[in-house]
Amino acid sequence: MKSIKFLIGIIPFLIFSCSEDKMDEINKELNNALEMSAQNEIADIILKSAFETTGTDIAWYATVYTEQSAGTWGQSVDADKRIGQTAATLFNNNWNNLYDVMMICNDVIKKTDPETGDEADNLFARGIAQLFSAYNLAMLTDMWGEVPWTEALMGADNLQPKFDKQSAIYPDVLGLFDDAVTSFTNATNISSVGDYIYNGNKDKWIKAAYSLKARYLMHLVNVKESAASEALGVIANGFAGSSDAFLFDAYEATAIGENPWYQFLSDRTHLSVSQTLYNIMVARNDTLRMAAYFEKVGGVYNPAPSGTATQTQGGLYSQSLITANGRTAATPIMTYHELKFIEAEAKFRTGSATWSQSLQAAVEANFVFHGLTAAQGTIYFNASVSPLLTAGNELKEILTQKYIALYEHEAIEVYNDYRRVPSFLTLNNPNNQTTGFVWRFPYPTSEEASNSANVPEVNVFSDKVWWAGGTEK
Rounded Cα–Cα distance for residues 237 and 51 (Å):
27
Poorest-confidence range of 144-158, 292-306, 367-381? 144-158
Rounded Cα–Cα distance for residues 219 and 417 (Å):
8
Nearest to 124 by CA among 218, 23, 206: 206
Asked whether residue 179 is domain-assigned, the answer is yes
Average pLDDT of the chain is 94
> pLDDT band for position 36 (50/70/90)?
confident
The reported pLDDT for the residue numbered 282 is 98
3-class SS at 31?
coil
- Name residues whose C-beta falls within 8 Å of residue 202's C-beta, 6 or more positions apart in sequence: 124, 127, 184, 185, 187, 190
Asked whether residue 369 is domain-assigned, the answer is yes
Asked whether residue 270 is domain-assigned, the answer is no
Q: Tell me the torsion sign for CA atoms 85, 455, 101, 469.
A: positive
- Name residues whose C-beta falls within 8 Å of residue 392's C-beta, 6 or more positions apart in sequence: none
Q: Which residues pair with 202 in a beta bridge?
A: none
| Host domain of residue 175 | 38-255+329-467
Q: Is there a contact between 378 and 364 (Cβ–Cβ < 8 Å)? A: yes
Give tens-digit pLDDT for 243-298.
Answer: 999 999 999 999 999 999 999 999 999 999 999 999 999 999 999 999 999 999 99
The reported pLDDT for the residue numbered 7 is 41
- Report the alpha-carbon angle 275-279-280, nearest 5: 120
The DSSP symbol for 148 reads E
> pLDDT band for position 29 (50/70/90)?
low
Q: Is there a contact between 342 and 231 (Cβ–Cβ < 8 Å)? A: yes
Rounded Cα–Cα distance for residues 48 and 335 (Å):
19
- Report the alpha-carbon angle 288-292-298, nearest 5: 100
The DSSP symbol for 304 reads B
Determine how β-strand 147-148 pairs with β-strand 69-71. Answer: unpaired
Distance of CA 281 to the CA centre of its chain: 25
- Name residues whose C-beta falls within 8 Å of residue 468's C-beta, 6 or more positions apart in sequence: 222, 419, 420, 439
Global pTM value:
0.92
CATH of the domain at 196: 1.25.40.390
Nearest to 128 by CA among 148, 104, 150, 147: 104
Answer yes or no: is pLDDT of 1 > 90: no
- Name residues whose C-beta falls within 8 Å of residue 161's C-beta, 6 or more positions apart in sequence: 148, 149, 150, 151, 152, 154, 451, 454
Structural domain total, the chain:
1
Give tens-digit pLDDT for 197-215.
Answer: 999 999 999 999 999 999 9
Rounded Cα–Cα distance for residues 331 and 336 (Å):
13
Asked whether residue 290 is domain-assigned, the answer is no
Asked whether residue 79 is domain-assigned, the answer is yes
Answer yes or no: is pLDDT of 172 > 80: yes
Asked whether residue 78 is domain-assigned, the answer is yes
Rounded Cα–Cα distance for residues 57 and 76 (Å):
10
Asked whether residue 302 is domain-assigned, the answer is no
Q: Which residues pair with 70 in a beta bridge?
A: 272
Asked whether residue 306 is domain-assigned, the answer is no
DSSP 365-377: HHHHHTT--HHHH
**463: region left, alpha or beta (phi > 0 left; psi from -120 to 50 alpha):** beta
